[in-house]
Every structure is written in structure tokens, then in C-alpha cells.
Amino acid sequence: MNKKLIGAVLAVASFYGIMGCGSPSADGGSDAAFIIEDKSAHVVSAYEDTNADAASTQGASDGAGSEATFVSNPDFGVWYPYWDYATATQELDNYGSRVNTISFFAAYFDVNSKAFIPENTTETYKQLKKAGKLKGKTTYLTFVNDKLLAKGSSLKDTQLLYDLIGDPDKAAAHVDEVVALSRQLGCDGIEIDYEAIKKDNTLWGHFNTFATLLAQRCQAESIPLRIVFEPSAPIGNYTWPSNAEYVMMCYNLNGYGTSAGPKANMEWLQTLCSKMKTLPGTVNMALATGGFDFSATGEVKQINYCDAVTQMKAAGSTAQRDPASADMHFSYTDASGISHEVWYADQETIETWIKTINTCGINRITIWRLGGNIA
């Protein structure tokens, strides 16, 4: 057994130990790098159980040294969703001290357009803090423009944004609201994740004004600030404050409304890195676990890593790795005779994406999301 390779696998598994369904890999071996326990003997034992051909293809192709190098440098963060408390907490434990930032997802808006924090988010934050799991980490409360109604929900509501930030006075009042709610929870910082603005240049102007006002307030009160952008955001059309950290959503290149394909590929990641490096503040690239199940009927379903692996095993399919994206994909036919194509990210996918981003000179990474990545 190549000891250098074992060392690289251990380093990668220890740092990125998030996925662990014990699934068969595309080439017949087991996914050793997905072992999530921080136990070296367990990881080595699992890796040695793979066949020799699998060992030569998984990890050796890029050189063990390069894998060990990139593991040590990212400033690493995660989003913590309130609805997946049990598995999210387990995954957070597996990361341990390697996580620098945690964004609690999320603060929403009620029928009257007032921001509120779901009770589960508050309880999760309190429990993690009481258990000492937030020690040494910077915490953020994420604000999303999702309006939760009594009978259902209206997600990514842009009219809500007009109500909140549609003129300077509204924007200033919303700054007060955001700061107050973040303090109520107890988080260190504020994260703004307002989406679906698309090509509405008027709303982009309002958002830029709001971001500037919020950044001024945060700078005056020493509050860390993160602003999340979708890939289509026209960031080059505006002047942005220098005291914010800017996060690019590097996912959903393919998904709802597209043909089957990966959430990201290397060429696209490089383009997004170039786009983000024009910003004056700190730059952070967000990557997503999981993937999508594309049905021949046109229906698209979002799935997590373990869902994908479970479906692959149940269908008796074999996943292949796409060289342009490092994403895994397989096909199956459901009980109704409808064909499906599944694309998802595994451990090697995430590692490859991170290396691509690191090569572009960006070392801050955030993972969407904790939960659903271990069995």
C-alpha cells in the first residue's frame, strides 16, 4: 500500500469528512474517503478493502501531494439548516475545529413582511452554544427573501425586497431590523442572501444601496458582514463596500429548468472566480453537496448525497465520473418505466472543485449545506 497515498486520504477524509454512506464507487471499490469518523485505523482499513485498480484511480491521478496541500489552506465555512438538526450536528462534529464559520439558515419574513427567526433555529443555536460547539467559530444569521405565509410559502419573493429596500428610507429601516434580529439570536455577524433579482436593474440598484448602508452600520459596530450572490448577479455594474465578505453560489449550473448535468464544472468555476476577484472585499466561493434527479418527463428533483447513493444501489446502477466537472452520474428506470438521469457530487467532486478554486487564488470555501450527507 502506498503510504503517501494513505496519508493524503487520511488528511482529506479528516478535513472534509462529511459524506459517508458506505457506497460502492464507480470502479467497484468502496468510497473510503467518505468515512466520517475521525479514526485513522478505520479510514485506512476501509481504504485497504478497495481493489487495487480503484486505489490507483481514486486519488493517485492528481498526485497525493496536491491533495494534502489544498486541504490545509481553505478558510472553511458551512450553512446550518434548522430542519436537519440531527444529521447536521453530527456532520459539524466531524468537521470539528476545521470549520471557521457557521451560517445559521435562516431568518425569514412573515405575511406582514416582518423578519423573524424560526424557533428551531433559535433552539439549535442555543444548544450548540451551550455544548461549546460554537467556540472559536464566527457565526452568522442568514437572511433570505422568503415569505412564509399561513397557507403555504412564497419563496424568493422579489416584491418583498421592494417592500423592504425599495427606497433609501426603507433600506435604512431594514438595516435596523436586520441588526436587531441578529443581536437577538446572538450571532457574531450578518449574512444577506437575497435571490431571484435576476435582470431587475431597478431592484439591483436598491439592493446596492441597502448593502452600502448595512456595510456602513456593520463597520461602525464591528459586525462581520457577508453578502451572497447568485452566479448571474451583475456585480460589475455597481460599486460595493470593501468591508464585506462576498460569497458566490457556485452551484445549480444545471438543475431546475435545465437539461441533465452537473451542479458545477471546472470551466464555470474559473469564470466565477474571475468575476468575484473584481470585488473590493474578501471573496468566498460556496459549493453544494448533493445533486439532481432528472426525469424523462421533465420533472427535476433535488437530492442529497445519500439519496443518490441509495437510489443507485436500489436500481443496480453504476455511477460514472464526468471528467469536465468531476461530478458523478448514473441512469435508472423507475417502477413506471420512466427513465431518470442522476447527477451528484461526492467527496472527490468537492475536493476537485476546491482545488480548482484554490488554483484561481481563492481559499475561502463555504459548503451548502450540513445535513443529508451521512447515513
Grade residue 148 by pLDDT with cuts at 50, 70 and 90. confident
Grade residue 96 by pLDDT with cuts at 50, 70 and 90. confident
Residue with cell 467556540: 135
What does the pLDDT read at residue 372?
87
Q: Show contacts of 157-160: CB within 8 Å, 24+ apart.
A: 157/109, 158/196, 158/197, 158/200, 158/203, 160/109, 160/113
What does the pLDDT read at residue 251?
98
**pLDDT reading at 165 higher than 60:** yes
What does the pLDDT read at residue 85?
82
Q: Which residues contact 103 (CB under 8 A, 6 or more apart)?
A: 77, 78, 79, 80, 139, 140, 141, 142, 191, 226, 366
Strand segments (E) across 121-177: 138-149, 152-154
Selection from 366, 368, 166 nearest residue 252 by Cα: 368
Grade residue 152 by pLDDT with cuts at 50, 70 and 90. low
- Please compute the mean of the pLDDT values over residues 123-147 and round it to a whole number: 97
What are the pLDDT digits (tens) for 264-305? 999 999 999 999 999 998 999 999 999 999 999 999 999 999
Grade residue 374 by pLDDT with cuts at 50, 70 and 90. confident
What are the pLDDT digits (tens) for 6-22? 233 223 333 344 555 54
Grade residue 41 by pLDDT with cuts at 50, 70 and 90. very low
What are the pLDDT digits (tens) for 205-219? 999 999 999 999 999
Exposure string of 56-72, with b = 16+ CB inside 10 Å and e = fewer, is eebbeeeebeebbebbe
What does the pLDDT read at residue 20?
56
What are the pLDDT digits (tens) for 55-67? 222 333 333 233 2
Residue with cell 435508472: 332
Whether the pTM exceeds 0.75: the reply is yes
Selection from 350, 177, 200 nearest residue 192 by Cα: 177
DSSP label at residue 199: T
Domain 75-288+346-368 architecture: Alpha-Beta Barrel (3.20)
- Please compute the mean of the pLDDT values over residues 96-113 and round it to a whole number: 94
